[in-house]
Amino acid sequence: MKKSFFSVSFIAFMVASLLFHSECMAQGKKREFRGAWIQCVNGQFERIGTENMKRMLTYQLNELQKDGVNAIIFQVRAECDALYNSSLEPWSRFLTGKQGVAPSPYWDPLQWMITECHKRGMELHAWINPYRAKTKSTATLAGTHVAIKHPERVFAYANQFILNPGNPANREHIYKVVEDIVRRYDVDGIHMDDYFYPYPAVGETIPDDREFRLYNNGISNKNDWRRDNVNVLIKQLSENIHSLKPWVKFGISPFGIYRNKKNAPLIGSNTNGLQNYDDLYADVLLWINNGWVDYCVPQLYWEIGHPAADYETLITWWNKYAKNRPLFIGENVIRTTEYPDKNNPKNNQMNAKFSLHDRLPYVNGTVLWYAKAVTDNVGSYGTALRNYYWKRPALQPLMPFIDSKAPKKPKKVKPVWTNDGYILFWQQPKGSKWDDVVEKYVVYRFEDGEEVDLEKPSKILAITNKTYYKLPYINGTKKCVYVVTSLDKMSNESKGRKKRVKL
Asked if the model's pLDDT at residue 18 lies above 70, the reply is no
Signed CA dihedral, 308, 312, 313, 314: sign only: positive
H or E element, residue 392:
none
Residue 22 reports pLDDT greater than 80: no
- Helical H segments across 406-472, by residue range: none
| pLDDT score of 4 more than 60 | no
Residues 84-123: tens digit of each pLDDT: 999 999 999 999 999 999 999 999 999 999 999 999 999 9
Identify whether 321 is preceded by a cis peptide bond (ω within 30 of 0): no
Model confidence over 197-253: pLDDT tens digits? 999 999 999 999 999 999 999 999 999 999 999 999 999 999 999 999 999 999 999
How does pLDDT run across 51-73, given as a tens digit for each residue? 999 999 999 999 999 999 999 99
- Residue-wise pLDDT for 337-395, tens only, equals 999 999 999 999 999 999 999 999 999 999 999 999 999 999 999 999 999 999 999 99
Report strand pairing: 295-296 vs 249-252.
parallel
Q: What are phi and psi of 444, to 5 degrees?
A: -115, 155
pLDDT at 25 over 80: no
Q: Give CA–CA dist 355/359, Å, rounded.
A: 6
Of the ranges 26-35, 189-198, 252-261, which one carries the lowest mean pLDDT score? 26-35
Query: Of all helices (H) and strands (E), which one includes residue 145?
Result: none
Residues 28 and 390: their CA atoms lie apart, in Å, by 7
If you write DSSP's letter for every residue of 217-258 in order, what string do you get?
Answer: TT---HHHHHHHHHHHHHHHHHHHHHHH-TTSEEEE--BS-S
* Domains of the chain by start residue, with CATH: 25-388 (3.20.20.80), 411-502 (2.60.40.10)
HSE toward the beta carbon, residue 76, CA cutoff 13 A: 29
User: Of 238, 217, 235, 237, which Cα lies nearest the Cα of 226?
Assistant: 217
Convert the pLDDT of each residue in 397-431 to its tens digit. Answer: 999 999 999 999 999 999 999 999 999 999 999 99
Q: How confident is the model at residue 12 (pLDDT cuts 50, 70, 90)?
A: very low
pLDDT value at residue 28: 79
Contact criterion met (CB below 8 Å) for 436 and 408? yes
pLDDT tens per residue, range 272-314: 999 999 999 999 999 999 999 999 999 999 999 999 999 999 9
